[in-house]
Amino acid sequence: MSRKKVGVLISGRGSNMSALIEATKAPDYPAEIVGVLSNRAAAPGLLTARENGIATASLAQSKFPSREMFEDTMTQILESWEVDYVCLAGFMRILGEDFVLRWQGRMVNIHPSLLPLYKGLDTHARVLAAGDAEHGCTVHFVTPGLDEGPAILQARVPVLPGDTPETLTARVLVEEHKIYPQALAMLARGEVSL
């Protein structure tokens, strides 16, 4: 079996990246993580990636004259790793249209809400403020509109009495770590397309 090559973009702790790395350790998993790129050199996820023998790169957007040049450099790095797919995993930068269109159909993101509900940041606090009975997460294709691309998989969790943003975040994160590897496997097997 030839595995599809995947690059992961992170900004921080990288727990979703870790879940993807763990999934790829199964011999029949259809993809491998060939590189992890961070826009923050201090992202703890970079260390985890290196410990797993995965190539890493970090690029600060502030060091580039323009967002386009920053993103072109990301594309060059991803191309040097010969990636088939790109997974955004807590990558905290809004991506420009050129970059998104360059990878469209081959780039996915995990978002902590039941999209199309709660695009953007602070989803857990917003769900609590709204008094919703359920919450969840979505793996979706990345298209130019923020958090607007079609969903591949979703998971739901109940909102429980006494929940805080922290307890709800933790409950959703458990599900993120399940559906992201499942969605990437579906993509790599050609079972879903944009």
Give the integer Cα–Cα distance in Å for 81 and 37: 11
Interacting residue with ligand GRF among 40, 102, 111, 135 (CB under 6 A): 111
Q: Would you give the binding string for ligand GRF spanning residues 22-61, x where CB under 6 A is met?
A: ----------------------------------------
Give the integer Cα–Cα distance in Å for 86 and 142: 10
CB of 174 to ligand GRF, least distance (A): 11
| Piece in contact with ligand GRF (CB under 6 A), picked from 14-22, 33-41, 47-55, 153-161 | 14-22
Active-site annotation holds for 135 = no
Q: Does 140 bind ligand GRF (CB under 6 A)?
A: no
What is the full DSSP assignment across 10-79?
A: ESS--HHHHHHHHHHTSTT-SEEEEEEEES-TT-HHHHHHHHTT-EEEE--GGGSSSHHHHHHHHHHHHH
Q: Does 12 bind ligand GRF (CB under 6 A)?
A: yes
Q: Does 93 bind ligand GRF (CB under 6 A)?
A: no
